[in-house]
């Protein structure tokens, strides 16, 4: 086929990747105004059956070559995109928000495609994993049987670990918005993660604990690939901080490792209380803290913890697994314990973007609370996928995988601008901090600060 197609796109501001500068949506117009300082030109030439060269000036020049097959001009109709989300199980509240963000992104992409006169549309297929690794694999197989080549999710690292081999073998691109286990930081596979891995969260948590004045940590955590990894990275960094000031007046207990399938924690919390009491007796309650690496079972843990006064005398620290957990504000007893123990939780922070408010308002209206950062990452995963499909002109998992890093060079989504590192993970490592506060007669989650640029920053 010798026919050549030349497409020249002039973009005044790169808001959601190439080719979207003149979209009529109000939030995109705001983005163009906000990012006027990034004025630049993108010229894309596609030679069907040959190669595609993209030159970007921002102000420096970047050139990338991608092979395009003759079938590129045949992309039309419904193009499936899957979502593996925990609509039930221990991350259900996260899954609900991410589902809404996923569907919102699909609607926005399809409106954009219609405006540009494109002959194809994204077709969303959402499956519930129940936060279970085996279910996640079975649902991925079902999606593959239906022709799905790109999947957003799963959310838990244990789920991603279980689907990885199938995804790699079948060249299905998996984009997790929330998997953080360092065990999955592997170059060249078919797993992208739009959040930073736990090596960095562990560093952040350790420094936050130290800045809070906590010198003796007692952990309680999920005994899975995610929990084990995050505890170990946090411990290593905390001990390093301790040693840097001479050591001897700080420590990290062995703590309590529990079965991820557990639903009742009377024995575990009783043992936790004994360990904490011993530390408090030796060093004082102001120097002791509990690190809880958990999912939504944190509510069950707190149900037992309120029975032990000593556990309410010390500070608690959480992570991205408990950030914004709705179960902790639905029960006043648990909410009050959360407030009393100043239960701080970290999660990878989305960057600044004029698109963020569009997503925020939609989810705020739906759920009545601030969206978790993972919802923004979900939204961006759909857009990055759509732009990559449009970029390569065909629905192919490997081609889309190879195109996404190029797309992200100029991508400003709901979570800001970011790129992927050599392992396919989000390369930005700032974290936001949220806790539960009481506003009037209600409890709510509130962002109170962040670990930004390697420093603890508290909001006024």
- Assign residue 410 the CATH number of its domain: 3.40.50.2300
CA distance 174 to 191: 5
One domain for residues 122 and 1: yes
CA distance 344 to 447: 9
186 pLDDT higher than 70: yes
328 pLDDT higher than 90: yes
Is 231 contained in some domain? yes
What pLDDT was estimated at residue 47?
Answer: 30
Higher local confidence (pLDDT), 46 or 427: 427
One domain for residues 258 and 330: yes
Of 50-54, 135-139, 196-200, 346-350, the least confident: 50-54
One domain for residues 16 and 132: yes
The band of 155, judged by pLDDT with boundaries at 50, 70 and 90, is very high
Q: Provide the 3-class DSSP secondary structure of residue 268.
A: helix
What pLDDT was estimated at residue 408?
Answer: 97
- Sign of the torsion angle spanned by Cα atoms 133, 138, 141, 146: negative
Is 409 contained in some domain? yes
CA distance 50 to 1: 10
The band of 8, judged by pLDDT with boundaries at 50, 70 and 90, is very low
Average pLDDT over residues 184-194: 97
CA distance 148 to 262: 33
Residues 6+ away with beta carbon under 8 Å from 445: 323, 324, 329, 369, 370, 434, 435, 436, 437
CA 378 remoteness from chain centre: 7
Query: Structural domain of residue 188, as residue ranges?
Result: 1-195+351-425
The band of 173, judged by pLDDT with boundaries at 50, 70 and 90, is very high
460 pLDDT higher than 90: no
Task: State how beta strands 345-348 and 315-317 pair.
Answer: unpaired
One domain for residues 47 and 167: yes
One domain for residues 323 and 358: no
Of 93, 111, 89, 114, residue with least CA distance to 329: 93
Encoded tokens for 453: 């640029």
Of 34-38, 238-242, 298-302, the least confident: 34-38
Average pLDDT over residues 301-329: 97
Is 121 contained in some domain? yes
One domain for residues 74 and 145: yes
- CA gyration radius for the chain? 23
Q: Which residues are paired to 83 by β-bridges?
A: 126, 152
**Per-chain mean pLDDT for the chain:** 87
87 pLDDT higher than 80: yes
Write out pLDDT tens, residues 360-408. 999 999 999 899 999 999 999 999 999 999 999 999 999 999 999 999 9
Of 53-57, 206-210, 214-218, the least confident: 53-57
Is 447 contained in some domain? no
Residue-wise burial string across 410-434, b where 16 or more C-beta atoms lie within 10 A, e elsewhere: bbbbbbbbbebeebbbbebbbbbbb
Is 435 contained in some domain? no
One domain for residues 319 and 360: no
Q: Taking phi first (over 0 means left), then psi (-120 to 50 degrees means alpha), and beta for anything else, what does residue 255 get?
A: left
One domain for residues 363 and 339: no
Average pLDDT over residues 438-446: 92
Is 203 contained in some domain? no
What pLDDT was estimated at residue 60?
Answer: 37
What pLDDT was estimated at residue 271?
Answer: 98
Is 241 contained in some domain? yes
One domain for residues 361 and 292: no
One domain for residues 224 and 317: yes
One domain for residues 6 and 140: yes
What pLDDT was estimated at residue 37?
Answer: 27
CA distance 442 to 369: 12
What pLDDT was estimated at residue 68?
Answer: 39
| pTM score of the predicted model | 0.81
Higher local confidence (pLDDT), 313 or 27: 313
What pLDDT was estimated at residue 262?
Answer: 96
Indicate the residue among 314, 343, 372 that finishes a domain: 343
53 pLDDT higher than 70: no
Write out pLDDT tens, residues 13-51. 333 433 333 232 323 322 222 222 233 333 333 232 333
Indicate the residue among 343, 370, 394 that finishes a domain: 343
Indicate the residue among 310, 343, 376 that finishes a domain: 343
Higher local confidence (pLDDT), 18 or 170: 170
Is 449 contained in some domain? no
CA distance 28 to 14: 10
One domain for residues 175 and 45: yes
Domain count, the chain: 2
Average pLDDT over residues 101-130: 98
Average pLDDT over residues 314-325: 97
Of 226, 264, 228, residue with least CA distance to 91: 226
CA distance 103 to 243: 48
Average pLDDT over residues 324-338: 96
What pLDDT was estimated at residue 5?
Answer: 30
Of 30-39, 49-58, 101-110, 228-237, the least confident: 30-39
């Amino acid at each position: 086929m010798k026919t050549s197609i030349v497409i020249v796109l002039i973009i005044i501001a790169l808001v959601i990747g190439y080719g979207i500068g003149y979209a009529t949506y109000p939030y995109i117009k705001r983005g163009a105004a906000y990012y006027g300082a990034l004025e630049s030109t993108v010229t894309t030439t596609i030679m069907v059956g040959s190669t595609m060269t993209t030159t970007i000036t921002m102000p420096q020049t970047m050139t990338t070559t991608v092979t395009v097959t003759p079938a590129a001009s045949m992309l039309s109709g419904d193009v499936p995109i899957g979502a593996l989300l925990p609509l039930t199980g221990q991350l259900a509240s996260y899954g609900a928000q991410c589902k809404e963000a996923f569907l919102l992104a699909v609607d926005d992409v399809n409106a954009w495609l219609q405006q540009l006169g494109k002959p194809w549309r994204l077709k969303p297929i959402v499956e519930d994993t129940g936060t279970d690794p085996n279910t996640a694999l079975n649902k991925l197989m079902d999606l593959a049987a239906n022709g799905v080549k790109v999947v957003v999710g799963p959310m838990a690292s244990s789920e991603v670990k279980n689907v990885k081999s199938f995804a790699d073998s079948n060249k299905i691109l998996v984009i997790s918005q929330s998997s953080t286990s360092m065990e999955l930081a592997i170059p060249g596979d078919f797993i992208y993660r739009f959040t930073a891995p736990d090596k960095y969260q562990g560093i952040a948590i350790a420094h936050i604990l130290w800045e809070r004045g906590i010198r003796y940590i007692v952990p309680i955590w999920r005994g899975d690939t995610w929990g084990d990894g995050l505890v170990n990275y946090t411990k290593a960094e905390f001990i390093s901080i301790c040693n840097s000031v001479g050591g001897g007046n700080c420590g990290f207990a062995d703590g309590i490792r529990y079965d991820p399938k557990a639903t009742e924690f009377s024995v575990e919390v009783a043992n936790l209380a004994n360990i904490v009491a011993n530390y408090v007796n030796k060093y004082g309650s102001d120097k002791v803290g509990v690190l809880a690496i958990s999912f939504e079972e944190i509510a069950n843990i707190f149900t037992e913890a309120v029975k032990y006064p000593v556990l309410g005398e010390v500070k608690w620290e959480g992570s991205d697994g408990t950030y914004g957990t709705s179960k902790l504000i639905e029960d006043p007893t648990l909410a009050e314990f959360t407030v009393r123990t100043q239960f701080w939780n970290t999660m990878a922070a989305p960057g600044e973007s004029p698109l963020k408010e569009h997503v925020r308002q939609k989810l705020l209206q739906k759920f009545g609370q601030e969206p978790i950062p993972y919802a923004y990452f979900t939204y961006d995963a759909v857009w990055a996928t759509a732009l990559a499909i449009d970029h390569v002109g065909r629905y192919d998992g490997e081609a889309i995988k190879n195109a996404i890093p190029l797309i992200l060079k100029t991508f400003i989504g709901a979570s800001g601008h970011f790129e992927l590192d050599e392992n396919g993970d989000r390369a930005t490592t700032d974290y936001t901090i949220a806790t539960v506060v009481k506003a009037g007669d209600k409890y709510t989650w509130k962002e109170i600060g962040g670990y930004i640029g390697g420093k603890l920053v508290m909001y006024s």
